Structure 1
Amino acid sequence: MTDQLATSFVRRELVPQRPAPVVTTGFVGFLRTRLFNSPMNAVLTIVSALLLGFILVPTVRFMLVDAVWQGQDRNACLPENVGRAVGACWPFVQAKLTQLIYGFYPEAERWRVNLIFLLAVVLLIPLLIPRLPAKTLNAGLFFLAFPVVAYFLLHGGGIRGFGFTWFADAALAVANSLVDAGRKLADLGEGRGLFGLLSIGIGKALVLFGSALAIPIAPFTWLRDAIQTSGQPVWADLVLTAIIVSLLLFLLNGGFRTGWRALLLSGITFIGIGLVVAAMGLDHGGLPVVDSRLYGGLLVTLVVSVTGIVASMPIGIALALGRRASIPLIRVFSIAFIEFWRGVPLITVLFFATYMLPLFLPGNFTVDGLLRVLIGIALFSGAYNAEVIRGGLQAIPRGQAEAANALGLSYWKTTGLVVLPQALRHVIPGLVNSFIALFKDTTLVLIVAIFDLLGSLRAAFADPVWATPTTLFTGFAFTGLIYFVFCFGMSRYSLFVERRLNAHRRH
């Protein structure tokens, strides 16, 4: 019986061959699993391919196939002269390339702009590569030394003094401004009743305070005048500033016990400053002065965007921390600042900084037009970055700060070493999104008569030598590619940073 049961379950025929497994790797596998794995996805794939073909084919045909690559004027890009349909007129871009990069910067001084671009690349690339060493020195050179060198290369001119003279001039200007404002306020209140008496009282108080402030400033102004009348005012001021700053750093960092490292670093820093001053001739007038109204093109776009990005980060961090502060005055000020700057459009900020701000300044005090725009954009972007960073701060559990406090860390060490690094890691996409938006919003400076890349392009369109039906589209296509390259580069680098910082969280 057992043998019969055993033999009854033995298969006497061969098993039919199974179908080959579905390919899930390679190009064919990608098509099957990603594009045509369901009827809906197949329809969407076909529709998307048709849309891409409808957009890409005419674009490639306009920019490459039907394009004109050589010519001296508009005649090279006219269909009746070429004998066919004409696409992009690239000779126009070649003829206006220097204007699109430098604007109206004097041709003989454009080597200064090229040197700035070279220095920026040399300092920025090592800073962006995580494996390279000396990040602290590199960051100090890029964020502190490079802006100063770039300013004197772009603007030209020299310096009359250094840190001590600047401090004395600023302190004296504040005292004189208080006295002048107090006198004007007191004169305004004459014969105006109760409010006039209040105005007179506040004005006299300002005059008294400004006069009292000028008394301790008097020795500094006397020493400033002595430095200015010396044979080498810049070097005398540099040496005096180096001595004062170095001694302060030496004493604040422990004096004879632990202050020698700070003293050495301070000395090296001032020696480097002296070498830069000597190399650029800043003590003898420096390079020829170039007015900021001559700046333009890609130069202005990079100056405005980089300055706005770099300056808005510390402003945004300070405002985000201030909005979460326990001190009511700081919290209210931060909230008011953020809501004010977020409540007005950037165009209004640019108009106010360019045309209305000079009305509120003293008569003998002027600020360069480009500098006013840079300050306005930095404050505007800082308010937006503050909310992005605050979102990251709220994502950090309270236990992180409590654990740091339990270990004896102060508020600043807890914030700088524990909370803020984690918060910034969380908000990298939002910050980079703000940076990209700021880079593209630099085109708005054209409204206040500053010619950025797009403004220089519009100025180039006014040249009748290159007036053709396709010149307009060619120019916008070229500038659009430039904006895309910069924005896409920032986006891809942010993804790289995200992957690197979140590597420990992978499972």
Structure 2
Amino acid sequence: MQEHDMSWVRTEMALAQPAPPTERGAYAWVRKNLIGSVGDIVLTILGIAIVLWILPQVISWAFLNAQWTGPDRTVCTTVTQGGIQPDGWTGACWAFVNAKFGQFMFGTYPIEERWRPILVAILFVALLVPMLIPRVPRKGLNAMLLFVALPIVAFFLLLGGVFGLPVVETSRWGGLLVTLSLSFVGIAVSLPLGIVLALGRRSKMPIIKWLCIVFIETVRGIPLITVLFFASVMLPLFLPAGVTFDKYLRALIGVSLFAAAYMAEVIRGGLQAIPKGQYEGADSLGLGYWQKMSLIVLPQALKLVIPGIVNTFIGMFKDTSLVLIISMFDLLGVVKQNFADANWATPQTARSGLIFAAFVFWLFCFGMSRYSMYTERRLDTGYKR
């Protein structure tokens, strides 16, 4: 017979132990991501070799040998080319970007009136930042000011003609001013219009459904260049004599409608991903159609398609450069236009200007991408463990 009870129950939780040294820190990360297998080792060595080959040349061209200031092309050309640099010199001509920076930002907007787009930019940032921070209250008021009040104020500020402000025709707008204004209005219009089109395409009313289908499929089947060309050149031919629209307004309408068609399909994908039980549950509560959509279905659908929505925004932001086809000069158009300036005609001018434009586009697109990832993580509560 056993005299002692061999059973034992722990009366307190075991203390947490640190992970083994080989499973934490920089070494663990390197072993897991860079040298975890033979294939990883080969790719890591190849990547390091490419970086070591390219990076010194990039640093030398963009920073060490670059010319940051100067009055004209002579600072970016060699002695043989009529400049001051030694023969064989190569480097970025940031002096060209510095000299043309005002045009890159505002186009030919009058210098003495450039405080107006700067004020609009300050107002835009002041309203956008609290809109993007979840903890800031009064989102409804903030949204009304950002998407309703600001466009009206910006229109009168930029165009002028009121409160003693001189009129600045939209033909003088250019650079980043045109890029951001087209993108902002396109985003503000395409998202709600895309939601309406997506709901209309799923409607049970045949007329509304087929009107939405015809619009979406027609616009999606036409390149944006064609839409802009039609809005700028062909549309006036169908208007009564003496009736015309500003070219900038035509571009706004074309870009917004084009983006709305693509946005509608993104939203429709989210609506189709919602389980049927969500619709039935809303019906069982006695909710009407718009209550069901606004309170139950759309919040879930929009959360699912955040990557697609942001992808459409990024594509639209970059597509604004196509307005050059209708003689409007966005950031890229103004940069390319200044290549013809004889005072800055150098072998490095085009490369430096295009890299500057690419960096600005990348900066905004990267910012939108990172914020969308943050929003996804914040709203991904239904799948957290």
Answer yes or no: is 1:118 the counterpart of 2:122: yes
1:433 aligned partner: 311
Deviation at 1:58, TM superposition (A): 2.2
Answer yes or no: is 1:457 the counterpart of 2:348: no
Deviation at 1:86, TM superposition (A): 2.6
Conserved? CA contact 1:432–1:490, under 8 Å:
yes
| Distance in 1, Cα, partners of 2:159 & 2:118 | 14
1:411 aligned partner: 289
1:78 aligned partner: 77
Conserved? CA contact 2:105–2:174, under 8 Å:
yes
| Equivalent of 1:499 in 350, 372, 377 | 377
Deviation at 1:78, TM superposition (A): 1.5
- 1:451 aligned counterpart, secondary structure: coil
Q: Give structure 1 regions of 4+ aligned residues with deviation exceeding 6 angstroms.
A: none
For residues 62-461 of structure 1, what are the structure 2 equivalents within 5 Å? 62-80=61-79, 81-83=84-86, 85-158=89-162, 281=163, 286-461=164-339
| Distance in 2, Cα, partners of 1:497 & 1:44 | 33
Conserved? CA contact 1:297–1:452, under 8 Å:
yes
- Unmatched runs of 5 consecutive residues or more in structure 2: 1-19
2:60 aligned partner: 61
Conserved? CA contact 2:201–2:208, under 8 Å:
yes
Deviation at 1:306, TM superposition (A): 1.0
| Distance in 1, Cα, partners of 2:248 & 2:291 | 37
Conserved? CA contact 1:24–1:32, under 8 Å:
no
Letter in 2 for 1:25: R
Deviation at 1:22, TM superposition (A): 6.5
1:41 aligned partner: 40
Conserved? CA contact 2:61–2:92, under 8 Å:
yes
1:215 aligned partner: none
Deviation at 1:362, TM superposition (A): 1.4
Deviation at 1:504, TM superposition (A): 4.2
After superposing the two structures, state which structure 1 stretch, 321-330 or 38-47, moved more: 38-47
Conserved? CA contact 1:68–1:86, under 8 Å:
no
Deviation at 1:44, TM superposition (A): 1.2
2:10 aligned partner: none
Letter in 1 for 2:142: N
For residues 10-25 of structure 1, what are the structure 2 equivalents within 5 Å? 23-25=22-24
Conserved? CA contact 2:159–2:168, under 8 Å:
yes
Task: From the superposition, tell whether residues 55 and 322 of structure 1 become closer, same or farther in structure 2 (CA, over 3 Å).
Answer: farther
| Distance in 2, Cα, partners of 1:73 & 1:411 | 65
Deviation at 1:137, TM superposition (A): 0.7
| Distance in 2, Cα, partners of 1:359 & 1:59 | 51
CA RMSD in angstroms comes to: 1.2
2:49 aligned partner: 50
Conserved? CA contact 1:320–1:390, under 8 Å:
yes
| Distance in 2, Cα, partners of 1:113 & 1:323 | 39
Conserved? CA contact 1:36–1:45, under 8 Å:
yes
| Distance in 2, Cα, partners of 1:133 & 1:139 | 11
| Distance in 2, Cα, partners of 1:62 & 1:103 | 28
| Distance in 2, Cα, partners of 1:128 & 1:336 | 35
Conserved? CA contact 2:194–2:260, under 8 Å:
yes
Conserved? CA contact 2:68–2:98, under 8 Å:
no
| Distance in 1, Cα, partners of 2:188 & 2:220 | 19
Q: Which has the larger radius of gyration?
A: 1
Q: Which has the higher helix share?
A: 1
- 2:114 aligned counterpart, secondary structure: helix
Task: From the superposition, tell whether residues 138 and 22 of structure 1 become closer, same or farther in structure 2 (CA, over 3 Å).
Answer: closer
- Unmatched runs of 5 consecutive residues or more in structure 1: 1-20, 159-280
Deviation at 1:52, TM superposition (A): 2.9
Conserved? CA contact 1:74–1:465, under 8 Å:
yes
- 2:352 aligned counterpart, secondary structure: helix
Deviation at 1:47, TM superposition (A): 1.4
Letter in 1 for 2:310: V
Deviation at 1:90, TM superposition (A): 1.0
Conserved? CA contact 2:69–2:98, under 8 Å:
no
2:14 aligned partner: none
Deviations 1:255-302 (A, max 9, x none): xxxxxxxxxxxxxxxxxxxxxxxxxx3xxxx42111110000000000
Conserved? CA contact 1:24–1:33, under 8 Å:
no
How many pairs does the alignment contain? 361
Letter in 1 for 2:50: L
Deviations 1:405-460 (A, max 9, x none): 11111100000010001000000001111111111111100111000001110111
| Identical positions, percent | 53
| Distance in 2, Cα, partners of 1:381 & 1:125 | 24
